[in-house]
Amino acid sequence: MDNSSESFDKFIELRDLTVKSNGRTILSIPHAIIPADTITACIGPNGAGKTTFLKVLDGLIKPDTGTVNHSFKSNTALVLHHTPMIKASARTNISLIQDAYPSISSEEIDLVLERVGLSKLASSPAHQLSAGERQKLCLGRAILQKPNLVLLDEPTANLDPNTTEQVEKIIRELNIEQSNIIFSSHQLAQVQRLAQYVIFIDHGEIKEKGPVGPFFADPRTQAAKRYLHQELISD
């Protein structure tokens, strides 16, 4: 993996980073520069370490060794694939963000519910919402944080094509509004639609990274070539 020649306006630098669990190494990244000034996709096989990678970038997981340094003052919002809901309305669930951000007003919450298409479901029990509606609720909560970096773990997994399109639209809007995005996905067509940059993780290591076009056209590593071949066949 070569990344020393890359330069970005905003980036996250990882050095000598390891994350272990029950004696097993989940992530091992000697050195990497991760762009934080674009939409970046994180791809790789199941169990490769993508979710742990996003949690480390967010600060939710502290690495066992090494450092995570931002070139900018970061305000991150992390949206995980499975976010539990309390047994209350959709509006009550999104309003929980006010505990951490008391300056957020009720009017802002109403505007965000409208923006993500959930105004008519604001009084509905959150746990009865569809998977796509719950994901929109989580994205709405992230929007309210006014982050400059949004981390998304499989944001459209198990969603139908129409809802996937709606969620991708919200992601693009976030990016236009100066929130840069790092998301994980198994959907290679989605990666090509949304991302400008790709990070390929395999067995807890960043095996390859670079602009999306060259990565898909001519991956440099055998591991990436194998992964793309297998995923394209399964599609």
Number of H helices, E strands in the chain: 9, 9
Question: CB of 201 within 8 A of CB of 54?
Answer: no
Strand-pair partners of 150: 77, 181
This prediction has a pTM of 0.91
Question: CB of 36 within 8 A of CB of 182?
Answer: yes
Give residue limits of the domains in the chain. 11-77+147-234
Q: Which of 120, 162, 116, 161 is nearest to 135 (CA)?
A: 116
The per-residue pLDDT string of the chain (235 residues; one tens digit each, 9 = 90 and over) reads 444 447 788 999 999 999 999 989 999 999 999 999 999 999 999 999 999 999 999 999 999 999 999 999 999 999 998 778 899 999 999 999 999 999 999 999 999 999 999 999 999 999 899 999 999 999 999 999 999 999 999 999 989 999 999 999 999 999 998 889 999 999 999 999 999 999 999 999 999 999 999 999 999 999 999 999 887 655 5
CATH architecture of 11-77+147-234: 3-Layer(aba) Sandwich (3.40)
CA 221, 5, 68, 100 torsion-angle sign: negative
Q: Which residues contact 40 (CB under 8 A, 6 or more apart)?
A: 34, 180, 181, 182, 183, 195, 196, 197, 198, 199
Q: Cα–Cα distances in Å, from 106 out to 7, 40, 95, 96, 109? A: 41, 32, 8, 11, 5
